[in-house]
Structure 1
Amino acid sequence: MTPLSNKTALITGATKGMGAAIAEKLAQNGYNLLLCARDTHALNRVKHQLEQTYPAIYVTTYPVDFSQKQQVHDLAEQATAQKDAIDILVNNVGIYRPVSVLDETAEDYEAQMQVNYYTTYHLCQAIGRVMRKNRSGHIFNISSIASRSPVATAGTYTVTKYAIRGLTQVLRDELRPYGVRVTEIVPGSTLTSSWEGTTIPADRFVLPEDIAQAILTCLRVSEGANVDELVVTPRYGNI
């Protein structure tokens, strides 16, 4: 049995894809979990499964529609008021709109900025302040290979991932003196719900479990080390 970590992780977008895989991996390694997603029923299902499989941990759920700014602010307030400090923050939630900057609607733009960037910013700020005070913690921001290789057909999505990259670099320098680690996880083509219905073989993709393992690896480095960024791409190239 894996020893308890006695630490708590908050994960956004935690009911499917990378978020669900990360929740499973951290639960397996003894982390208590604060899981956030829009679908209450899915949150309850994941909570039940994890607590049944790993009875030594606790799982708390927060139903949040990340497209709603006030709900994100409420989450930040509730999370920082927790009795137990949040040791790990995983900013995973995101949406993808395959549309160019010139052809997108205002709703396309605003939704992606709110979910992909503003949510991460506000949680980093609120929880980062607590980590700074405690002089301990690890923030993971999941961006995308689009933050390195722009995708013109997903214009604002690309812009939000560049913004996440910049935010992560700034936070790393800001929190470094306080012993808080900050890591950018950069997935290439990953087999999540965005690829639902594809006929491309699974072995052409990064799997959500690979990203979960990458995060666990970053958590296990020596006391004096920080993984600044970790890029995970398909073996045969991005799709």
Structure 2
Amino acid sequence: MNAIITGATKGIGRAIAFKLAEAGYNIIFCARDQQDINTLCDDLIALNPSVSALGLATDCSDPLQVERFSGFVQQHFDSVDVLINNVGVFIPASILDEDESDFQKQLQINYLTAYHLCRIFGRQMREAKKGHIINICSVAAISPVVAAGSYSVTKAALLSLTKVLRQELMAHRVKVTAIHPGSTLTSSWEGTSIPTERFIAAADIADAVLCCLMMSVGANPDELLISPSGGNI
């Protein structure tokens, strides 16, 4: 089984990579830092020597680098069973006051990267009559955060893409799922004084991904909302 993960060296993406490697998936992933990529490849293979792990340094704010990454995947994988669009960026600001470049960056990373990869590998899955696309969206896609307006808009766009693709691909036995994490303890919260137990753990999202992948052929988990037990922060 072959899986693609974007933004895999930190936080949720890293937790997903470990979970899938443990389950026996070969993994190709992208991240920005080559040293982090090398370390993750070594760690995944140490965890499960029967799988392969490859990464390509990719800045997902650059469409040409995203296109290069899709080519890298096609060069090394004859087929793709799972596509996990995890990469994302959160820039808090109101829409009326933000720098427009912040919106463009979030649009490219949070939405257009997934759009490109879904088109490339969704076609392959359609032809193969199998596969699963999982888009890591956000609670902000459902309940917009005014203090992070453009982030909310781009995540809502990703959710809409997920819904459209589900309709397009269901006749071809390809599953499409949106996972909506609430406040999750990742590096973006580094230095916070908020107690750890107030957050969702990145491992919880990874468990949810594997749970979705393990469901029977007849089940499509459309959307999964995961909130902190004490409410979002």
**How far did 1:81 drift?**
3.9
Tell me which residue corresponds to 1:217. Answer: 211
Q: Who is 1:172 aligned against? A: 166
**Aligned counterparts of 2:40 and 2:8: Cα–Cα separation in 1:** 9
1:88 maps to 82
Kindly indicate whether residue 179 of structure 2 is the aligned counterpart of residue 185 of structure 1: yes
8 Å Cα contact 1:113-1:160 kept in structure 2 = yes
Shift of 1:86: 1.0
Q: TM-score, normalised by structure 2?
A: 0.98
Contact 1:80 1:126 in 2 (8 A): no
Which residues of 2 match residues 22-171 of structure 1 at below 5 A? 22-171=16-165
Give secondary structure in 1 for the equivalent of 2:147: helix
Equivalent position to 2:231, from 230, 234, 237: 237
Whether the aligned pair in 2 keeps the contact of 1:80 and 1:130 (CA below 8 Å) is no
AA partner of residue 70 (structure 2): A
Structure 2 residue ranges without an equivalent (≥5):
none
| 8 Å CA contact 1:136, 1:179 repeated in 2 | yes
Identity across matched positions, percent: 50
Distance in 1 separating the partners of 2:232 and 2:212: 23
**Aligned AA for 1:177?**
A
The whole-number CA distance in structure 2 between the counterparts of 1:187 and 1:163 is 16
Q: Give the number of aligned pairs.
A: 233
Aligned-partner Cα distance in 2 for 1:81–1:134: 17
Residues 2 and 77 in structure 2, CA contact (< 8 A), matched pair in contact too: no
Alpha-carbon shift at residue 80 of structure 1 (Å):
3.0
Q: Does 1:8 align with 2:6?
A: no
List alignment gaps of at least 5 residues for structure 1.
1-6
- Once the 2 structures are TM-superposed, how far is the Cα of residue 127 of structure 1 from its aligned partner? 0.6
TM-score by length of 1: 0.96
- How far is the alpha carbon of 1:82 from its aligned partner? 3.3
